[in-house]
Amino acid sequence: MDKDTKVLVLGGGGVAGIAWETGILAGLADAGVYVTDADLVVGTSAGATVAAQATNSKPPSALYDCRSVVRSSRPGSRITSGPRGASPSRPSTRSRASSSRVWPAVPIRGRRLFDGGMRSGTNADVAKDYGKVLVLDVIGFPETTDVEPVSAPLLTVTPGEASQAGLQNLLDPDSRAICARAGYDQGQRIAAEVKAFWA
């Protein structure tokens, strides 16, 4: 893959993670740093929601890859959905919210799929062959053994201290305001670093 290609990876993290990642993206954009112009956008679990929203707000003429990563019920496999320029299909978007202990797997083409967060909190290895990778990693979940290392230049952003109170319960809707504001402020603070990396 061309060394100039860019990937935005949005990790899982419940409603709190959606708010934090959305805040980061808004804070960066308001500082003049537009990372949703990536050649590939990878979303895992809650990050798939952010990826779909962030890329669908672009003009239809923009070429984007929005892929929602899900884990097959077969050990060691992953599936990416959403061909170039298309949004994830409805069943794969549903599977991003299925967890083997909480919600049932979603059947797609004879396979049972779970949330990609069951494999990795970010699934950044989907981007392993790209030029540079920006990862928003809400919770730093452990990864399964089939997750490959990313050799491309990598910048990982994790929630700052101001987000921690909201991240105590990732599924609490009341956490959204705290996490969104903290993400926005953090996006503003890291804008210069991200701009230099993304250039």
Euclidean distance between CA atoms 20 and 184, whole angstroms: 8
Using one digit for the tens of pLDDT, what is the confidence trace for 57-108? Answer: 653 223 224 433 444 445 544 444 444 434 344 444 444 444 445 567 777 7
CB of 5 closer than 8 Å to CB of 126 = no
Q: What is the pTM of this model?
A: 0.73
pLDDT of residue 108: 76
- DSSP-H helix ranges across 122-168: none
Q: Residues 183, 24: contact at Cβ < 8 Å?
A: yes
Q: What is the mean pLDDT of the chain?
A: 74
pLDDT in tens, 31-67: 999 998 899 888 888 888 888 888 876 532 232 244 3
Of residues 136 and 145, more confidence is placed in 136
Residue spans of beta strands (DSSP E) within the chain: 6-10, 40-44, 66-72, 78-81, 106-108, 111-115, 132-136, 154-157
- Confidence at residue 132, expressed as pLDDT on a 0 to 100 scale: 92
pLDDT at res. 90: 43
Please report which helix (H) or strand (E) contains residue 22, including its range: helix 14-30
Q: How far apart are CA 149 and CA 13, in angstroms?
A: 21
- Give the pLDDT confidence score for residue 129 in this predicted structure: 80
* Residue 115 confidence class, pLDDT cut points 50, 70, 90: low
- In this prediction, residue 63 carries a pLDDT of 26
**What is the per-residue burial (b if ≥16 Cβ within 10 Å, else e) of 116-133?**
bbbbbbbbbbbbbebebb
The residue assigned the tokens 């890291």 is 190
* Region of poorest pLDDT, from 10-14, 118-122, 186-190: 118-122
